Amino acid sequence: MVEYSVYTNIGSREINEDAVKAITLDGNFGFIVCDGLGGQGMGDKASKIVTDCYNECFINSQINESFLPKTFERAQSTLLEEKKKLNAKNQMCTTAVALAINENTAYIAHIGDSRLYFFEGDNLIYKTLDHSLPQMLALQGEIKEEDIAHHPDRNKLLRAFGTEWDKPMYAIADPITLNKNQAFLLCTDGIWEWITDAQLSELLKISSSAEEWLEKIIDAVEISSRNNEHDNYSAIAVFVK
């Protein structure tokens, strides 16, 4: 059984440029979280275009290993076409992290710094690697992983939807075979910059549902970010029981 909970908040910004989508159809489940790049303008349009494209592809596709690559390619081409129509050359870019689940397998893809965390029990098994300058510095050993969240160049992304590319710039994770007591969290940086991996695990340990886990995560994020400017923050929690 799969259950999920969805949340998005404008934070202290004037516009919510995050977009989230959860879909259920014929026993399959689709989830996507996008974070439009606000500094470039029209990020809200970009994130909506990508989530809408994901929704359309999910409804009209088989959910297998080729689904997310095809969908991400479609989302990129759709977004570039819309940018051209609106003459938005340096605007309309977004991150994305997506999860697609069929009867027995979970598929994951992402671009940018929106993240997916995968737990078995309360143990963190896998999380996506940000396509950002601080993540690259961490991989090179120049900074610690925990320093990414508040690094001065944290918003410098190396990959995003809406930028021209000659080859696919998104990342596809290895498929995950579903078992009981698994959990996934998809979220924007407005969530993960204010909570640690250890906190996510501890909150998962004391949560009996996806909704309860997400509520506890949001409470922790809001406490941690109190008295700070807070970006839009969005997440989807998924339990496999």
Note the pLDDT tens digit of each residue in 88-101.
888 999 999 999 99
pLDDT at 130 over 90: yes
pLDDT of residue 92: 94
User: pLDDT for 141-167, tens place per residue?
Assistant: 888 888 788 888 778 899 999 999 999
The Cα-based distances of 117 to 108, 183, 193, 220 in angstroms read 10, 8, 14, 17
Give the span between the Cα atoms of 72 and 180, in whole angstroms: 28
Residue 150 is predicted with a pLDDT of: 81
Domains of the chain: 2-240 (3.60.40.10)
- Quote the pLDDT of residue 136: 82
Give 129's DSSP letter: P
Q: What is the pLDDT of residue 142?
A: 85
pLDDT beyond 80 at 38: no
Q: Positive or negative, the Cα torsion across 115, 118, 123, 126?
A: negative
pLDDT at 110: 98
pLDDT tens track for 197-237: 999 999 999 999 999 999 999 999 999 999 888 999 999 99
pLDDT score for 186: 98
